Amino acid sequence: MITLLALRNPEPEYARTRHNIGADVLRAFAESNNFPAFKYDKFLKAEKTISTIGDHDVQLLLSGTYMNESGQVVAASKLTPEETIVIHDELNVPVGDLKISYGAGAGGHNGVASVTSTFGTAAYTRLRIGIEPNHPVTGDARANFVLKPFTPEERQKIEDNIKTFTAALITIIKEGRDTAMLKYHTK
């Protein structure tokens, strides 16, 4: 079974923040592909739904832990890196763009670092959704930046590209990561 895991902070005050864009994308994916409603699974520490995409059984997980503890969902769900696609925000990609990666470092993203640590490898697929600021952000300012909502202009860029994000996930599932990289990294 292929698992799509969206990293997020689960509390309502973090909804629609830059850091939770992975959850927004996964919800849009679930809706556009007619998945059943998400239900919280206390043993997996995540909201979960399962359906099929083509010939593939697909499980969607919305992390129920804080971002920095995302590896707990990986461990509780007994996920394998080969069958997992992690969806998350990315400071080093322009707002509204996407980047598909495999085997890449965490780049300062503590949620990704937690997943990588639990897997014991960075050899898993990631859909990175761009939230890059239009000004340099370092140190504590990074944390403050990612925990704020998008500006109206940024949110519009995200909304304009949500179908592209969900289509990229479909391509990864049906045709593989390499095909998706060729298709979505070429503009």
Residues forming the active site: 19
Q: Report the 10 Å Cβ neighbour count for 87.
A: 28
DSSP 65-118: S-GGGTHHHHHHHT--GGGEEEEEEEEEEETT-EEEEES---TT-HHHHHHHHH
| Cα distances (angstroms) measured from residue 150 to each of 15, 136, 178 | 11, 16, 30
Contact at 8 Å (CB) between 128 and 85? no
135: Cα within 13 Å, side-chain hemisphere: 2
Q: Which helix (H) or strand (E) holds 132?
A: strand 125-132
Q: Which amino acid makes up residue 147?
A: L
**Which of 69, 76, 165, 78 has its CA nearest to residue 126?**
165
C-alpha torsion 72→170→151→13, nearest 10 = -30
